[in-house]
Every structure is written in C-alpha cells, then in structure tokens.
Structure 1
Amino acid sequence: MLITRIIKREKSSKYDVFIDGEYAFTCDAETFFMLGIEEGKEITSEQYKYYVNYIEAKEAKNHAFRLLSRKMLTEKQLADKLKLKGFSEEAIGEAVSKAKEYDYVNDENYAKFFVEEKMQSLYSRRRIYYELLKRGVEKEIIEKVLESIYPHEKEVEVIRQIVEKKKNSHREIQKLKKYLYTNGFEIENIEKALNLT
C-alpha cells in the first residue's frame, strides 16, 4: 500500500490521505505529523488499520469530551451517543475509559446530582430510582445515593409539600393519595405524610 496523495484542506488543519490512488482517511495536523504520514510512503495493511483505528479513537474521545463539556452524562448515555455517531465499539470503549480516567464521567456523581435535582422537583424515590436505571446507573450506586441523599424520611417531607399544594377536601385527599401512589411514592410514606399534616 502506497500513500499516493495528501491534500491539506483550505482553512483547516485537516489532511485527506489517499492510498493507491483512492481516498483512505482524513486526520488532523497533530495526528498527521505524529503518525509520520507522507506522500510516497509504503505502508502495510497493519499500519493502515492502526492509522484508521487511532484516528477513530481520537475522534471519539474528542467528541465525548465535547458532549461532556455541555452536559453531565452517565457512562451508558455517553456510549449511546457515541454509538449514534457511528463510532466502533473499540473507539467507544477507549473514549468512555478516558473520560472515566479524567473523572469526566462518574455515575455516582451523576446520580447524586440527579437525586438532588429531582428531589427539589418533588419526584418520588421510586421514580428517581427507575429514571437512573434507564440512564444506565448501577442499582448499588442508586441505592447508596438514595439512602444518603433522599432517605424515606425526606420522601415523607416531599409528600407533605405536595399535599400542601393540593389539599382541599376529603375527595381531594383521595385523589391526592392516588396521584402520589401512581407517581411512585410508597404507601407507608403517603399515610405518614397525610396523617401528620
């Protein structure tokens, strides 16, 4: 395999590389010089695979870091977004691993933030639990975070806040019980909150 042509893109630091007369890949200037790519250079198929895998992994990491600079994500959410972008499993694995290494992705921190935020929005423990499960956070992490930040006693307080907002008559109380139960609050906590208000 022979690198037959290299085209530097105008107004960009990217290079299009052609092998045996056909377009092969694009890379940034740093990668271009680091890999020692030059016109007329003979490369093996192993070198070619290495170049392509290296470039894809770097692009996946860069994309992951851009995503994480805008929004906190779980490992699963990050991997899913990278998969949607078309990156290979290997590149995704490397990107997620690097993000974890830098502590840009931390499911426990994500869970803490999420629980705090949703508790303020008057979510039930159960609803938060299932929302975090959907986002790929492990059960053990969810349970640990819920116990430390949002214990059952706090759920009773949240129920009281909801009751105060909606309380008017006996009929309203029954509707409220149903509302609270269907929104994931535990029946014992509902009873405690309603009996103590």
Structure 2
Amino acid sequence: MKITGLRKNSSNDRISVEVDGTFAVSVSLEALMEEGVNRGAELTKEQLKRLQNRSSVEHASAEAVRLLKYGRRTEAELLDRLQEKGYDRLTSDTV
C-alpha cells in the first residue's frame, strides 16, 4: 500500500492520509511522525492498523475533554458516555 496523499484538515490539526488514492485515516502529525509516514512511502497493514487505532483513541480523548467541559464526571460515567458514542471498551479504557 502506497501513501499517495497527506493533507492537513482545515477544521483541526489532523492530517488526512490517502493510501492508493483513497482516504485511509485522519490522525495527528505526531502519530504520523512516530510511524515514519511520508508521501510516497509504503505502508504496511500493521502500520495502517496502528494509525487507525491511534485515530480512534485521539477522537475518544477529544470527546472526553468535550464531555468534561460540561461538568465533573466519574471515570465510570465518562467510560459509559464514550461507549454510548460508539467507542469500544479498549479505546475508552485507553483514554
């Protein structure tokens, strides 16, 4: 799988990654740097899976911060709300 495009999202600080001409994932610049991702590079299935997992955790973390802006919550309440939003238990626990 070849990375054919990297584009900064205009609405946030995330980078959209295109693989073989198709959108694959949107992650932080930090995640891309940790994986050594750059345009034209080959991406393994394992790297793509790690980026997708990282993306999910980043989204869940942002959602947790948004929820906490509205008031204090216990850890259990926060985990329940994240799962209601569709995040799996592993991702919710990582946040």
* Cα shift readout 1:126-184 (whole Å, capped 9, x = no counterpart): xxxxxxxxxxxxxxxxxxxxxxxxxxxxxxxxxxxxxxxxxxxxxxxxxxxxxxxxxxx
Which residue matches 1:91? 91
Which residue matches 1:19? 19
Q: Secondary structure at the match of 2:80?
A: helix
Counterpart AA for 1:34: E
Structure with higher RCO (Cα < 8 A, 6+ apart): 2
Which residue matches 1:51? 51
Counterpart AA for 2:55: I
Counterpart AA for 2:13: S
Q: Distance in 2 between matches of 1:18 and 1:92?
A: 26
Q: CA offset at residue 18 of structure 1?
A: 0.8
Counterpart AA for 2:81: K
Tell me the C-alpha RMSD between the 2 structures.
Answer: 1.9
Alignment of 1:151-162 (within 5 A): none
Counterpart AA for 2:26: T
The number of residue pairs the alignment matches comes to 95
8 Å CA contact 2:3, 2:42 repeated in 1? yes
Which residue matches 1:40? 40
Counterpart AA for 1:22: T
Q: CA offset at residue 63 of structure 1?
A: 2.0
TM-score (norm 1): 0.43
Q: Name the one with the larger strand percent.
A: 2
Which residue matches 2:80? 80
Q: Name the one with the larger helix percent.
A: 1
TM-score (norm 2): 0.80
Alignment of 1:101-112 (within 5 A): none
1:10 maps to 2:10: yes
Q: Distance in 2 between matches of 1:85 and 1:71?
A: 18
Q: Distance in 1 between matches of 2:35 and 2:66?
A: 24
8 Å CA contact 2:57, 2:91 repeated in 1? yes
Q: Distance in 1 between matches of 2:69 and 2:7?
A: 31
Where does structure 1 lack aligned partners over 5 or more consecutive residues?
Answer: 96-197
Counterpart AA for 1:80: D
Q: CA offset at residue 11 of structure 1?
A: 5.8
Q: Distance in 2 between matches of 1:9 and 1:61?
A: 18
Counterpart AA for 1:43: L
Alignment of 1:137-152 (within 5 A): none
Q: Which moved more, 1:72-81 or 1:3-12?
A: 3-12
Q: 1:11 to 1:66 in 2, by over 3 A?
A: closer
Q: Distance in 2 between matches of 1:67 and 1:40?
A: 38
